[in-house]
Amino acid sequence: MLILVPHHAAATIRQAGPWGGMTLRGNHEDLAVIRGVSTRDGATFPVNTSPGQNLIAATGDVRASGYWYRVAPVLHVYWRQVSGRLGTRVPLSVFQEHLTSGYKKPGTTPYLALTYAPNLTDAFPDHNAPDIVAWRVGRDGAYPLNCLVEPSTTGISQIQDHWPVRDLQTAHVMLVGAGSIGSATAHALAGYGIGHLTLVDPDRLSWHNLVRHTTSRRHVGRSKVTALAEELTDLRPDTTVTPLVLDVIDDADRIRTLLPQSDLVLCTADGVAARRVTGHLARRAGIPAVMACVLQDGALGEILRLRPWPQHGCLTCRRQALAEHGGIDPEPALDAGYGTGTRHRPMTAVGPDLHLVAHLAAKTAIATLLERLGHPDQRLPGEHGLISLRRQPDCAPPFDLNRTGETRWLPATPPRPGCPTCETP
């Protein structure tokens, strides 16, 4: 049996008098959550139960009641000791002896109890026992139960001593493309603690997307960005997500006005034209762009980092440099104007391979932001990352990765003379 103690209930118990009542709701998975707490002479008031709420609403619930007591610290040391032994209990007389007041004798059916031991770490610094623990109190004694107390702070700020949370919470990334790579990228960016995420994609979620997309079946038919924003907000409340049902090519003017508010744009859109437009707009806005895609029917993952630096060429310039060295077959649409050329190819990669590329893209974006803020541990080995997802023999360099899982980073290539993106307008 596990008892969830919401933070609000724990705070009440820690501040109130020596004892009180509590009401719980449980389900048939041996899980209960505290829904109300009373103090000795007060009425029971409801507790905001963020944990366990959905779970209890979804299954047939069981009401229960119990008591909480303020106790001497040594009782929690006993709790720790008997917890490790199956079927072991604390005799009722011992349990009662350590309460400060308010003991309720158990009837024929046992009741649930929480005990709170103030100054526990002062009294027993080495015992590592929690200050709130749970019991099932029956006529034959008090059995230890597991309980989880919700901490006062949850979310990304918990790791701020080990990760530059503050720097990332103020950062703003625009993600163009919310498909299979894009959805996983969005999750990864939020996992890193990006404060603001703008999602751009015109498409709706369809049945055939489900095999690779992170969004669940119940969102089929909705805009990918709206569904993704909802799921992310639920999962990573530290990230503010703005969904925009826009097409980067058709709505380039809207995107152009939004880009200066972003610190970086990450493009996972498929189609050469969308990638070129994104790269062009980012360079004009003076912000870095990270492009993620798979090549060769999903055998090879590719991350391109395009920083708006004079010595770094744009997407087109890099592609042409590769093509001239026989590394890549130029896309037929490469020389086509914006908004023309091929758009979709059937995606042949498996979901987790795409998500692997997505996570590397998110890492690249985060590292780019953090390096610029002075974090030396986030410098990347290059501007162009390749990862072999399914090894293909006899590929031309630099795509000649020998084994699945191998990664390679290449430097930037310079802009080409006359490039309409690289040369200042």
Partner 1 sequence: MRIDEAFDEFQRSVNEDVGQTRLARERRDLFKRALISEPDVTEAFGSGSLRRSTQLKPINDVDIIAVYDTTQHPDWGTAGLSAEDALDHARGQVNRLLGKTNGSHGNEVRLALPRNHAVKCFLDDPDDENGFTVDVMPALRQADGTLLIPEKLTQNWVPADPEHLIDLVADRQRDWEHFRPLVRVLKQWRHDVAVTGRIKSLVIEVLALDCMPTSGNRPSALRAFFTASAARVNERVKDPAELCGEIQPDLDYDGLQAALADAAELADRACAAAAAGETDQALRLWQEILGDSFPAPAAPTKPANPVTGAPALITGTPALITPRPIKDAPQG
Give me the residues that bind partner 1 (CB under 8 A), please. Answer: 286, 307-312, 371-377, 379
Contacts of residue 57, Cβ cutoff 8 Å, sequence gap at least 6: none
Contacts of residue 388, Cβ cutoff 8 Å, sequence gap at least 6: 299, 300, 301, 401, 402, 403, 404, 405, 406, 407
Please identify, among the stretches 59-67, 71-79, 183-191, 413-421, the one whose residues bind Zn ion according to the rule CB under 5 A: 413-421
Q: Could you tell me whether strands 31-37 and 19-26 are parallel, antiparallel, or unpaired per DSSP bridges?
A: antiparallel
In the complex with partner 1, which residue's Cβ is closer, 93 or 311? Answer: 311
The partner in contact with residue 420, picked from Zn ion, partner 1, none with C-beta cut-offs of 5 to 8 angstroms by kind, is none
Smallest CA-to-CA distance from 139 within 74, 82, 75, 95 is with: 95
Please identify, among the stretches 59-67, 76-84, 306-314, 396-404, the one whose residues bind Zn ion according to the rule CB under 5 A: 306-314
Least Å distance, CB 348 to partner 1, is 33
In the complex with partner 1, which residue's Cβ is closer, 104 or 284? Answer: 284
* Binding residues with Zn ion: total (CB under 5 A): 7
Letter for the amino acid at 159? I
Q: Measured between alpha carbons, how far is 79 from 133 in angstroms, rounded to an integer?
A: 8
From candidates 304, 314, 328, 347, binder to Zn ion by CB under 5 A = 314
Q: Measured between alpha carbons, how far is 164 from 190 in angstroms, rounded to an integer?
A: 14
Q: Measured between alpha carbons, how far is 276 from 306 in angstroms, rounded to an integer?
A: 11
By CB under 5 A, tell whether 317 contacts Zn ion. Answer: yes
Q: Measured between alpha carbons, how far is 339 from 410 in angstroms, rounded to an integer?
A: 29
The partner in contact with residue 419, picked from partner 1, Zn ion, none with C-beta cut-offs of 5 to 8 angstroms by kind, is Zn ion
Least Å distance, CB 418 to Zn ion, is 9
Least Å distance, CB 158 to partner 1, is 14
Name residue 266's beta-bridge partners.
175, 290
The partner in contact with residue 314, picked from partner 1, Zn ion, none with C-beta cut-offs of 5 to 8 angstroms by kind, is Zn ion
127, two tokens: 């015992």
Identify the H or E element spanning 56: helix 53-58
Least Å distance, CB 172 to partner 1, is 18
In the complex with Zn ion, which residue's Cβ is closer, 75 or 422? Answer: 422
Q: Which strands form 240-244's sheet, in the order they lie side by side?
A: 240-244, 196-200, 172-176, 264-267, 289-295, 300-306, 384-388, 407-410
Least Å distance, CB 149 to partner 1, is 21
In the complex with partner 1, which residue's Cβ is closer, 308 or 398? Answer: 308
The partner in contact with residue 317, picked from partner 1, Zn ion, none with C-beta cut-offs of 5 to 8 angstroms by kind, is Zn ion
Least Å distance, CB 288 to partner 1, is 9
Residues near Zn ion (CB under 5 A) are: 313-314, 317, 415, 419, 421-422
